[in-house]
Structure 1
Amino acid sequence: MSNSMKPVSTQSGTIKSNNDEMEKIPSSSPKRSDTLTNSQRIWTSLAAGAIAGGAAKTSIAPLDRTKINFQTSQQPFSTKAVLDFLIKSYQKDGLLSLWRGNSATMVRIVPYAAIQFTAYEQWKRILKVDETDVGDERRFIAGAIAGLISQAMTYPLDLARAQMAVTQKDEYKTLRQVFTQIYKKDGLVAFYRGFTPTILGVVPYAGCSFFFYDTLKNILTIYTVNSPALSAMTGLMSGAIAGMIGQASSYPLDIVRRRMQTSAVKNQQSLGIIKMTMKIYGEDGIMSFYKGLSMNWVKGPIAVGISFATYDIMKDFLRKIFC
């Protein structure tokens, strides 16, 4: 290509010169995926999403449990307090206690991630995100809808996970026991306690995460297309940045959600979203809504980066091998 020809990336993985000549470059997805049926796209997305979600959450489970503990208590957050919590948990219940509630997390995150990634792929297709020049806002919409669908279908599992994370080992031993106690105490409605702030938070979180991940990946893919190693790093980096932006946009609502989810096991009065928001604000002002955010800057980018990168790798692998 001559120096006078300025390459411009397109969604199809093509570089167009100013002489209107077309030079093909390899796509970030296997070429064979262009011939997949929609049902094949769905099941490969489901499988890849499940694996990605499980890998991401397991990698940061100890930090996740610690974050929930501080989100749902009035204890001041600090690095020393985090280390004290981790050390005391280890001394009292052993190393595996740091992954307490992770079984509930896996039961929830595997279907959640599978549904979310698949819904995103399908809504991108429905909204023709990759077939238009104005796909940016549609990419956000597709991500937001995917987040809403996956959250609505798996929310009771998230509630159970949160309650296991803030209780002692001898209080809830199994996920089934958590569900039984929740139902006996407050009935079916209790399984969706804290759902309103969750929905309000998932729209900016999922929308921003998918929007920034796809946007950054599409930009950086131009420079890494011939290097699988660099391509994987691009996925991790794009996911990490997307995760930071997504979490910053929804973190205060995450605080409200966790407090509403765990009020029952802490023998606290069950409050609606407005009253709970006012209660949290009364504890330490506006900073109460950002307690533990610094930990999220550590664990969030790691988890989201691993999730997006693993999803892309597994999706491409499955579509290349089995389809």
Structure 2
Amino acid sequence: MGSGVQEQQAPLAQGEVSPRTPSRQSESLKQTRSVINSLFSGALAGAIAKTAVAPLDRTKIIFQVSSARFSAKEAYKLIYRTYLKDGFFSLWRGNSATMVRVIPYAAIQFCAHEQYKELLGDYYGFQGKVLPPLPRLLAGSLAGATAAMLTYPLDMVRARMAVTPKEMYSNILHVFVRISREEGLKTLFRGFTPTILGVVPYAGLSFFTYETLKKVHAEHSGRLQPYSYERLVFGACAGLIGQSASYPLDVVRRRMQTAGVTGHTYGTILGTMREIVTEEGVIRGLYKGLSMNWVKGPIAVGISFTTFDLTQILLRKLHQMGYTAR
């Protein structure tokens, strides 16, 4: 017929999918698989990274919440005294609480980051491509804020276990019960505001730096996938930049979280900052332990990003192998 008449298609049989439209069920399964893979990869990444630096992390928290002057020598002495007094595994005290918190936190953060990247890619018309700088920064910030909001009380518990003697709290549940009974449920959210204010630049800059370095690397090397050691370096740079930018707020939230056991009554962010600066100064107070963070932070973030990427790649390969074998 003439060009103005459209060709009519034969009606589809029951259960048949049009070759011109992808199966909604298939797309839904693909999306679900992607979310599950991101959750698992993020959980594994967080667990491995935090366990690797747990002794340094615990030492940093102890200095953050005290008025003692920090130095590498004093940090070493603290680690060594802890080892002599309580044994090697005491260096990981509070790590069980860290795992309870970091596994869901990292799982949610990495999964949320993948979802926010996809949403922002659709919004800005960059589906399947690397996002422009501003959406790239926004995706990381939103991912960090989402994870922090959903897991905050666990961070509070972890901080308490890290700075108290093991006789005070026997396990994670005991921390929750004792804080709720003696200090009230609101205490579990003490330090929440500085946490959110700190995690937005931290997560935003971390994800932004890592994604940007991978993009620049691909453009200059011609390889879409960096080597493992390159991922570690990119992650280390991301951790260094992200943690340095948000560190004073990290000190403030630790002081507020542990106020019940240190004898202070920190109430507000500005009030806490003012008291820290008055008693200890800006550098020795708000940036106490930063040099240790420059050691442990890049290591932890590098391991975290690398583990996530490699686990994602492995899961995709395993799925493709399973699909091919059918």
* CA offsets 1:215-263 (integer angstroms, 9 cap, x no match): 101222352738x7x6111211110001100011100000000000001
Residue matched to 2:223: 225
Shift of 1:322: 3.0
Residue matched to 1:54: 47
2:260 to 245, 259, 264: 264
Determine whether 1:144 maps to 2:141: yes
Identity %: 51
TM-score by length of 2: 0.85
Residue matched to 1:101: 94
* CA offsets 1:292-316 (integer angstroms, 9 cap, x no match): 0000000000000000000000011
Instruction: Kindly indicate whether the alpha-carbon contact (under 8 Å) linking 2:144 and 2:200 is maintained by their aligned counterparts in 1.
Output: yes
Instruction: Assess, with a 3 A threshold, how the Cα gap between structure 1 residues 224 and 98 changes in structure 2: closer, same or farther.
Output: farther
Provide structure 2 residue ranges, at least 5 long, that are not aligned to the other structure.
1-26, 321-326
Distance 2:173 2:222 in 1: 46
| Number of residue pairs aligned between Structure 1 and Structure 2 | 288
Distance 2:207 2:304 in 1: 12
Determine whether 1:72 maps to 2:68: no
Residue matched to 1:308: 305
Instruction: Please tell me the root mean square deviation across aligned C-alpha atoms, in Å.
Output: 1.8
TM-score by length of 1: 0.85
Distance 1:115 1:257 in 2: 21
2:114 to 114, 117, 121: 121
Instruction: Kindly indicate whether the alpha-carbon contact (under 8 Å) linking 1:224 and 1:231 is maintained by their aligned counterparts in 2.
Output: no
Distance 1:270 1:304 in 2: 30
Distance 2:188 2:41 in 1: 28
Instruction: Kindly indicate whether the alpha-carbon contact (under 8 Å) linking 1:225 and 1:231 is maintained by their aligned counterparts in 2.
Output: no
Secondary structure of residue in 2 paired with 1:173: coil
Distance 1:41 1:77 in 2: 44
1:273 to 259, 269, 273: 269
Q: Mapping of 1:13-28 within 5 angstroms? A: none
Residue matched to 1:209: 206
Instruction: Kindly indicate whether the alpha-carbon contact (under 8 Å) linking 2:41 and 2:308 is maintained by their aligned counterparts in 1.
Output: yes
Distance 1:320 1:206 in 2: 28
Distance 1:122 1:269 in 2: 40
Distance 2:222 2:245 in 1: 29
Secondary structure of residue in 1 paired with 2:260: coil
Provide structure 1 residue ranges, at least 5 long, that are not aligned to the other structure.
1-33
* CA offsets 1:48-99 (integer angstroms, 9 cap, x no match): 0000000000000000000000000000001111111001101111001100
* CA offsets 1:166-216 (integer angstroms, 9 cap, x no match): 011111120111111110022221111001111111110000000010010
Secondary structure of residue in 1 paired with 2:261: coil
Instruction: Assess, with a 3 A threshold, how the Cα gap between structure 1 residues 179 and 134 changes in structure 2: closer, same or farther.
Output: closer
Shift of 1:36: 7.3
Structure 2 residue identity aligned to 1:225? R
Shift of 1:272: 1.6
Residue matched to 1:7: none
Residue matched to 1:251: 247
Structure 1 residue identity aligned to 2:305? F
